[in-house]
Amino acid sequence: MKKIMSGNEAIARGAYEAGCTVAAAYPGTPSTEILENVANYKEINSEWSPNEKVALEVGCGAAIGGARTLVAMKHVGLNVAADPFFTIAYEGVNGGLVVISADEPGMHSSQNEQDNRLYAPHAKVCMIEPSDSMECLDYIKESFKISEEFDVPVMFRVTTRICHSKGLVTLSDREEVGVKKYEKNVQKYAMMPAHARARHVVLEENLDRLRAYSNKCSLNRMEMNDTKIGIITSGVSYQHAKEVFGEEASYLKLGLTFPMPDKLIKEFADKVDEIYVIEENEPYIENFVKAMGIKCTGKEVLSVCGELNPHILRKAFKKEDEGAGYDVDVSLPKRPPMLCAGCPHRGIFYAMSKYKDLVVSGDIGCYTLGLIPPLNVTDTVICMGAGFSAAIGLKKAFQMGNVDKKVFGVVGDSTFFHSGITGLIDAVYNKTPITLVILDNSITAMTGHQENPGTGKTLMGEITEVIDIEAVVKACGIKEENVVVVDPYDLEKTREGVEKAYNATEPFVLITKRPCALIKEVRKERAHLNCEVVQEKCKKCRMCLKIGCPAITLKDGDILIDKAMCNGCELCKQVCKFDSIVKVGE
């Protein structure tokens, strides 16, 4: 049976066909849809974990227990999971362990452009890179076999264009491999120093065997055409190279990219006149080729920044400039990023924006958009969890410099469970007088509405315990009188909460509770609600524009509210001093 699938769908299907029985992940673009599709296969016990480190530790335990296991995350997620990632390489596996690293050249929705291929030699794990959806399926199945045969975890490295592009995939039946028998082996699975030193030697021996395999396996192959130019490439870069050079060049297509196939590269180089290395971001392959003493052209003509495409390759290697692409007559309207109409985060950011001396440490998620004008509330954004912990650092610096500034740290509910809790504990333990703001919108919103420990549902759709954020906060040591919970749609109560937080002299937590405006049930419930402007009363003061709602516009001198976008949150109504905005539809 053949089916058109995205790379992420094909990875999930491949895991199913390979007999995978356990899967875990934390959502993050471009990897999110992998676990969402795995969850459709009830033969695989799949879960959202609070963060990537937990997901990988669940995966390590499952693999040691004998289950073929898949763990998925975006590239920066592997930083969170780096601690167990390095050690599980020493321990090896029982059931196969495949760790998906979904990289994002071009940074469409990430805070950096790190090239996670460099993790493979650093952590000493096998690395496999597919070039299309069919390879996503086939290579995942091969990855489980390699993991078990060579007793190493496999890093399955994909990029945005592989994850989200669609291609024809041939489906097969699931191979029921069951769960391998677990046998206690503390020398292998308990990494105290004496055991780790011995396991490091074993790991190097396994990598030697894997290196020999890399030179002869079908994942690395030569495609010989004209031999004037030989191109060494992997991943989506292979597709771009084929589109530009076709049969004008020969190719060494690499699918198993750590350990690199040294003998195969030498053999290929001997067959062609000139070598091009085509790869996105860092010169991972190029450095290896040059270290072998083989002359090649790569980053001299290709940038380490951003994604590649055929246009860039033609311009770099053929000196052909075909223009930027297709010309279209229609100009798309500019759409700067902003909080959605009806977003509950708007109320708290608006209230915070009134304190011009406030320093705010933001985090990764929808609430990053609090830094966008006209709200302008956010000074720093680093990584998940740093909303709290960087706020602690900022306050420490101000204290040491005798600077009297109030610091707020902001995270969402999912981020709180991901890695915000530890920052909260640090603030309490070290008595740092900051305000920790938790924006609880009852979902992991920016990645597409995934469940989290606070939503009451698992990835597999089961009803589960709701972890009460307020109770956790108090259990971590925040005093009862230093916790305030507000509905951010109630602007007056939110203002009072922010004022109390601003004046607090001890660690203080402000929680906003209001579900994301885009949750299906919320949209249905509020579909008939909206606000409108009574033009006869409107004084054109433009205060309503200062909440930054995309549903409110100024056209020909009049303030207008787009009924199709508005959900009747009434924030605009609450900031209007002339009662010129009314709510309708109730």
| 538 & 495 share domain | no
Cα 569 to Cα 552: distance, rounded to the nearest angstrom:
12
In 3D, which of 354, 356, 359, 371 has the Cα closest to residue 492? 354
Q: Which CATH number characterizes residue 389's domain?
A: 3.40.50.970
In which domain, by residue range, is 123 found?
A: 2-215
Burial level of 30, CB count in 10 A (0-12/13-18/19+)?
A: buried
Same domain, 16 and 123: yes
Q: 509 and 373, same structural domain? A: yes
Which residues belong to the annotated binding site?
538, 541, 544, 549, 566, 569, 572, 576
Q: Is residue 324 part of a domain?
A: no
Binding residues for [4Fe-4S] cluster: 538, 541, 544, 549, 566, 569, 572, 576
The answer to the question of residue 328 being in a domain is no
- What number of other Cβ atoms are within 10 A of residue 421's Cβ? 20
CATH number for position 577: 3.30.70.20
> How high is the pLDDT of residue 446?
87
Residue 506 lies in a domain: yes
Instruction: Kindly state the helix (H) or strand (E) to which residue 521 belongs, with its residue range.
Output: helix 520-525
89/21 same-domain check: yes
Residue 382 exposed, middle or buried by CB count within 10 Å (0-12, 13-18, 19+): middle
State whether 306 and 373 are in the same domain. Answer: no
- Between CA 418 and CA 53 the distance in angstroms is 9
Which of 450, 437, 438, 466 has its CA nearest to residue 518?
Answer: 450
Asked whether residue 410 is domain-assigned, the answer is yes
336 inside domain? no
Of 215, 248, 275, the residue at which a domain comes to its end is 215
Quote the number of domains for the chain.
4
Task: Tell me whether strands 558-561 and 552-555 are parallel, antiparallel or unpaired.
Answer: antiparallel
Contact 387, 412 (CB under 8 A): no
Together in a domain, 227 and 84 = no
Residue 345 phi/psi, 5-degree rounding, is: -70, -20
70-93 pLDDT, tens digit per residue, is 999 999 999 999 999 999 999 999
Query: What's the CATH number where 254 sits?
Result: 3.40.50.920
Among 318, 333, 361, residue at a domain's last position:
318
Cα separation, 573 vs 563, whole angstroms: 14
Claim to verify: residue 307 and residue 377 sit in the same structural domain: no
Q: Are residues 14 and 145 in the same domain?
A: yes
User: End of a domain among 504, 522, 540?
Assistant: 522
Q: Tell me which residue of 342, 374, 344, 376 sits closest to 357, measured CA to CA.
A: 376
Is residue 334 in a domain? no
Q: What is the pLDDT of residue 331?
A: 72
What is the pLDDT, as a whole number, of residue 312? Answer: 96
Same domain, 235 and 177: no
Position of tokens 């460099």?
118
| Residue 326: per-residue pLDDT | 62
Residues 46, 145 within the same domain: yes
Q: Calculate ∠ Cα 156-161-167, nearest 5°.
A: 90
Q: Is the bond leading into 337 cis (omega within 30 degrees of zero)?
A: no
One domain, residues 12 and 143: yes
Is there a domain that residue 337 lies in? no
Counting as low any pLDDT under 50, the low residues of the chain are none
What predicted TM-score, i.e. pTM, was given to this entire model? Answer: 0.92
The answer to whether position 130 is within a domain reads yes
Same-domain status, 42 and 63: yes
